[in-house]
């Protein structure tokens, strides 16, 4: 039984390390993030980003000037695509959440191309196409790197370089408590579990608040 389990894990690891699997994962993430931006533009919620970054897009929606969102966020996207194959990590926050979620919509809207953000399904398809392009570029760069150059397999890292995120757990607990007491309790329990595991407490607080908040929704 143990050998069969190890065999399954070996096959799963082999599958996850394939180039096309990486591209599919990037496509799925980019599609979700771009569609989230559509939801934000249409309904005022759903963007996968920090408040300060979303404010750049909101400023463009209010004034018609998307230069801040397009310039700042698209610059992040380009930098992270070039960085991914070299350091072996694709930073979801910089490349996808900021670049795809804010930069590309800002660039499209600045040129008057609002069709990709016209409805949810179009946004999903367009985001997947963008993800396909990003994943393919990263894989191509890796293939073109001369032999002997140390380049690790491109993985996925969320929140790379965002050291301030580790201090957000108390704020998340407070915010969850203001939503309802069960979400607050869940955030506290989740933070404690992740602290015991030696993981970032922020993730535990978010997951705990989501689980208990959903179970005991008011």
pLDDT in tens, 77-114: 776 666 655 555 666 776 778 888 888 888 888 888 88
The per-residue pLDDT for 121 is: 93
Domain residues for 197?
A: 163-215
Tell me how many degrees the CA angle 53-57-63 measures, rounded to the nearest 5.
135
Percent of the chain with pLDDT over 90: 13
Q: How far is CA 161 from CA 33, 107, 113, in A?
A: 20, 25, 33
Task: For residues 41 and 108, state if they share a domain.
Answer: yes
- Domain final residue pick, 157, 179, 199: 157
Task: For residues 139 and 40, state if they share a domain.
Answer: yes
Task: For residues 103 and 174, state if they share a domain.
Answer: no
Structural domain count, the chain: 2
What pTM does this model have? 0.62
pLDDT tens digit sequence for 20-60: 888 898 899 899 999 999 999 998 888 888 777 888 888 88
- Domain final residue pick, 157, 176, 207: 157
The per-residue pLDDT for 130 is: 92
Q: Which residue has the higher pLDDT, 38 or 138?
A: 38
Task: For residues 148 and 180, state if they share a domain.
Answer: no
**CA atoms of 203 and 213, how far apart (whole Å):** 15
**CA atoms of 23 and 152, how far apart (whole Å):** 16
């Amino acid at each position: 039984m143990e050998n069969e389990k190890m065999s399954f894990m070996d096959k799963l690891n082999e599958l996850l390390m394939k180039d096309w699997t990486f591209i599919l994962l990037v496509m799925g993430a980019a599609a979700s993030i771009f569609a989230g931006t559509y939801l934000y533009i249409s309904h005022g919620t759903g963007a996968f980003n920090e408040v300060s970054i979303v404010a750049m897009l909101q400023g463009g929606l209010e004034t018609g000037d998307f230069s801040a969102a397009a310039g700042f966020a698209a610059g992040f996207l380009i930098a992270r695509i070039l960085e991914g194959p070299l350091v072996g990590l694709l930073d979801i926050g910089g490349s996808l959440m900021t670049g795809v979620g804010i930069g590309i919509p800002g660039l499209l809207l600045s040129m008057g191309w609002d069709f990709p953000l016209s409805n949810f399904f179009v946004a999903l398809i367009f985001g997947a196409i963008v993800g396909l392009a990003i994943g393919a570029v990263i894989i191509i760069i890796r293939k073109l790197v001369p032999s002997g150059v140390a380049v690790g397999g491109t993985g996925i890292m969320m929140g790379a370089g965002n050291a301030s995120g580790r201090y957000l757990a108390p704020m998340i607990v407070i915010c969850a408590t203001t939503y309802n007491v069960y979400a607050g309790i869940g955030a506290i329990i989740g933070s404690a579990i992740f602290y015991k595991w030696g993981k970032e407490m922020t993730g535990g607080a978010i997951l705990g608040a989501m689980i208990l908040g959903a179970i005991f929704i008011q």
